[in-house]
């Protein structure tokens, strides 16, 4: 899948079935066969307690949060083996795990960073190598090994001086390049929200957009990092930062792309999770984590005043319209209220899972010493369960992506198999780039998985959690969709051949090719019949856009590190 490497493929969904969470659910079904799928949350709670499922969760290793330098050394040895076998990606994952396990203040933290710098050196990522060397020095890297580290540092500087950096300048920048919404400066103006029967909240263009317009650049506010990704993605913003993750200083289960994300997550959510980190980790399950994390996030924004939160939440939901927010005066509580106001719909077949997930995660969180002092009465517990259930349903809306990053504005865009924008999520940010011309009153959609021009054409259904009502999938719309298409003119067909030859030529470069393709699609993009050359061009457009957006992100990240290193010569990457 080109557009979203982390998106939920059928294979990754299958993997989820092996999670402890699903095993516990299976156990409950066997032990309580009469528990109705839509039984109340109070009944689910009693059933889970009677079956003593909570006793199967790992014990909390009080005080250490699972940190253990002995284990860190063992995992680092595994990583070293992988490093010697040149299996760098796997080695990185293991070094990260070892960094997370190392006791704060021990030399093993520094050694983990130093070893990580060796990987970057091998991969010609000299800026990252230097950043990790700085981290190693900052975190008790032993003096006895220092000469080796200093030698690597020197080699990195030489390589950079010789111009061997992989690049700190994007080949092409994808900044917002259209007039922006006066209250939401990271969204293009000329986009409104409407509620459509088939899709719920939808984003509609009120003016023309042209191919290549960048219409959204938003930062995520929260994510749901599954067990398998804890040493690859930032626990707060979801950034895939295997290159520079730093660990929570108190537990061995989560990592962050920056000190800022670490502190923000601790203030808003992780302070509740950290003391019971092993249990939280055990019950980690894809998008589901987001449901309960959103409850904790909201509670923090209400300054831990649960009664105040209940007063706000115990009213009829408005449906939620984040486009009413004024981001020029950003207020996370107001943003949270709009998120809360969404009444997410889910298929009845999923209801028993959502109820189970919400209940068991509430029981787990109520073992958190801090939460125990806030959620006390039965009424408060019932509110928490309902709130977590509502948010778990809402979280299913973001489930098309493996880390379910939450972008309040981006989450209003629906899926289409004939998308008119491309979505790219990198470094905890999302960008939407217009893929083909958009006319006023047209819905703006990206693809959650596949596109009509993928080969074989839409054969393998994407594991959607909803019945797709897009123009390609809904039979009642498909006829009109096909009828609206015309054949390419003879001139357009001739141009297509010329474009094809140019972009496949040996002297082609990505930026020039993209410009050529975008000009062609801007002119002919509304002709979408299944003509092989045309479909290939659409695929190529998708691939090129994605590749250039990734290159932009990587270059900017390197540039940021280089700037930091030049300024302070220490500190972490953000």
Tell me if 411 sits within 8 A of 310, measured CB to CB: no
Contact call for residue 201 and ligand SAM (CB under 6 A): yes
Tell which positions 322-351 bind ligand SAM, by CB under 6 A. Answer: 342
DSSP state of 268: I
Nearest Cα to 427, choosing from 552, 253, 563, 331? 552
CB of 342 to ligand SAM, least distance (A): 6
CB atoms < 10 A from the CB of 487, how many?
Answer: 10
Site string for ligand SAM, 66-105 (x = CB under 6 A): ----------------------------------------
Task: Tell me the site size for ligand SAM, rule CB under 6 A.
Answer: 17
CB of 176 to ligand SAM, least distance (A): 21
Helical (H) or strand (E) element with 24? helix 20-31
Q: Can you tell me the distance from the alpha carbon of 10 to that of 96, in angstroms, rounded to the nearest whole number?
A: 27
**β partners of residue 432:** 216, 423
> Smaller CB distance to ligand SAM: residue 141 or 446?
446
Tell me if 432 sits within 8 A of 377, measured CB to CB: no
Q: Residue from 470, 472, 496, 499 that binds ligand SAM (CB under 6 A)?
A: 470
Beta strand extents in 385-440 (DSSP E only):
414-415, 421-426, 429-434
Q: Residue from 252, 274, 402, 412 that binds ligand SAM (CB under 6 A)?
A: 412
> Smaller CB distance to ligand SAM: residue 283 or 288?
288
CB of 112 to ligand SAM, least distance (A): 37
Q: Residue from 200, 249, 463, 500 that binds ligand SAM (CB under 6 A)?
A: 200
Q: Residue from 67, 139, 415, 558 that binds ligand SAM (CB under 6 A)?
A: 415
Stretch that binds ligand SAM, among 275-283, 329-337, 453-461, 468-476 (CB under 6 A): 468-476
Contact call for residue 397 and ligand SAM (CB under 6 A): yes
Q: Can you tell me the distance from the alpha carbon of 302 to that of 511, in angstroms, rounded to the nearest whole number?
A: 47
Token reading at 181: 């919404």
Tell me if 290 sits within 8 A of 391, measured CB to CB: yes
Per DSSP, the three-state class of 457 is coil
Stretch that binds ligand SAM, among 178-186, 193-201, 493-501, 559-567 (CB under 6 A): 193-201
CB of 417 to ligand SAM, least distance (A): 8
Token reading at 147: 């000469």
The values of phi and psi at residue 423, to 5°, are -110, 135
Q: Packing angle between helix 378-395 and helix 288-301, nearest 10 degrees? A: 130
Stretch that binds ligand SAM, among 100-108, 164-172, 222-230, 463-471 (CB under 6 A): 463-471
CB of 535 to ligand SAM, least distance (A): 21
Contact call for residue 411 and ligand SAM (CB under 6 A): yes
Tell which positions 140-169 bind ligand SAM, by CB under 6 A. Answer: none
Q: How large is the C-alpha radius of gyration of the chain?
A: 25
Whether residue 456 is preceded by a cis peptide bond, meaning omega within 30 degrees of 0, is yes
Tell which positions 256-315 bind ligand SAM, by CB under 6 A. Answer: none
Q: Residue from 414, 427, 447, 518 that binds ligand SAM (CB under 6 A)?
A: 414
Contact call for residue 420 and ligand SAM (CB under 6 A): no
Tell which positions 488-547 bind ligand SAM, by CB under 6 A. Answer: none
Nearest Cα to 80, choosing from 135, 47, 118, 46? 118
Contact call for residue 217 and ligand SAM (CB under 6 A): no
Site string for ligand SAM, 23-62 (x = CB under 6 A): ----------------------------------------
Q: Can you tell me the distance from the alpha carbon of 358 to that of 354, in angstroms, rounded to the nearest whole number?
A: 6
Q: What share of the chain is helix, strand, coil (3-state, %, to 5)?
A: 50, 10, 40
Q: Residue from 468, 472, 544, 561 that binds ligand SAM (CB under 6 A)?
A: 468
The values of phi and psi at residue 179, to 5°, are -60, 145
> Residues interacting with ligand SAM, by CB under 6 A?
198-202, 342, 397, 411-412, 414-416, 465-466, 468-470
């Amino acid at each position: 899948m080109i557009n979203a490497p982390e998106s939920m493929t059928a294979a990754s969904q299958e993997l989820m079935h092996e999670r402890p969470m699903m095993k516990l659910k299976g156990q409950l079904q066997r032990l309580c066969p009469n528990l109705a799928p839509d039984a109340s949350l109070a009944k689910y709670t009693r059933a889970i307690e009677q079956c003593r499922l909570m006793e199967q969760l790992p014990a909390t290793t009080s005080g250490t949060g699972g940190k253990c330098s002995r284990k860190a050394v063992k995992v680092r040895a595994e990583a070293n083996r992988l490093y010697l076998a040149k299996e760098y990606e796997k080695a990185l994952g293991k070094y990260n795990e070892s960094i997370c396990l190392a006791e704060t203040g021990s030399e093993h933290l520094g050694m983990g960073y130093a070893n990580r710098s060796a990987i970057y050196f091998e991969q010609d990522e000299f800026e990252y190598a230097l950043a990790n060397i700085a981290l190693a020095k900052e975190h008790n890297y032993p003096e006895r090994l220092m000469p080796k580290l200093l030698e690597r540092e020197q080699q990195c500087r030489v390589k950079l001086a010789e111009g061997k950096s992989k690049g700190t300048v994007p080949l092409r920048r994808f900044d917002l390049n259209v007039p922006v919404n006066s209250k939401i400066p990271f969204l293009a103006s000329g986009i409104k929200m409407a509620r459509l029967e088939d899709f719920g909240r939808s984003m509609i263009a009120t003016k023309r957009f042209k191919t290549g317009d960048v219409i959204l650049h938003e930062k995520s506010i929260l994510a749901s990092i599954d067990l398998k990704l804890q040493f690859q993605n930032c626990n707060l913003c979801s950034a895939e930062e295997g290159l520079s993750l730093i660990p929570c200083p108190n537990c061995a289960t989560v990592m962050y792309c920056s000190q800022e994300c670490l502190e923000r997550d601790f203030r808003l959510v992780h302070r509740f999770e950290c003391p019971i980190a092993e249990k939280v980790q055990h019950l980690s399950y894809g998008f589901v984590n987001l449901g309960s994390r959103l409850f904790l996030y909201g509670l923090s924004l209400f300054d831990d005043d649960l009664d105040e939160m209940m007063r706000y939440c115990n009213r009829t939901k408005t449906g939620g319209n984040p486009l009413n927010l004024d981001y020029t005066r950003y207020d996370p509580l107001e943003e949270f209220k709009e998120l809360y106001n969404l009444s997410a719909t889910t298929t009845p077949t999923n209801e028993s899972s959502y109820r189970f997930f919400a209940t068991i995660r509430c029981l787990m969180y109520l073992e958190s010493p801090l939460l125990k002092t806030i959620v006390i009465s039965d009424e408060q517990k019932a509110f928490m369960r309902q709130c977590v259930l509502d948010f778990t349903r809402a979280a299913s809306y973001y489930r098309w992506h493996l880390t379910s990053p939450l972008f309040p504005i981006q989450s209003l865009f629906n899926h289409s198999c004939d998308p008119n924008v491309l979505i790219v999520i990198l470094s905890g940010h999302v960008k939407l780039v217009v893929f083909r011309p958009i006319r006023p009153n047209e819905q703006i959609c990206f693809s959650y998985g596949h596109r009509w021009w993928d080969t074989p054409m839409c054969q393998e259904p994407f594991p959607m959690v909803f019945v797709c009502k897009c123009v390609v999938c809904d039979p009642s719309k498909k006829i009109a969709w096909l009828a609206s298409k015309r054949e390419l003119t003879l001139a357009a067909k001739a141009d297509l051949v010329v474009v094809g030859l140019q972009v496949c030529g040996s002297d082609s470069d990505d930026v020039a090719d993209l410009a050529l393709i975008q000009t062609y699609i801007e002119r002919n993009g509304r002709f979408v019949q299944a003509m092989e050359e045309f479909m290939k061009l659409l695929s190529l457009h998708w691939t090129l856009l994605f590749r250039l957006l990734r290159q932009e992100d990587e270059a900017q990240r390197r540039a940021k590190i280089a700037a930091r290193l030049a300024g302070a010569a220490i500190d972490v990457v953000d």
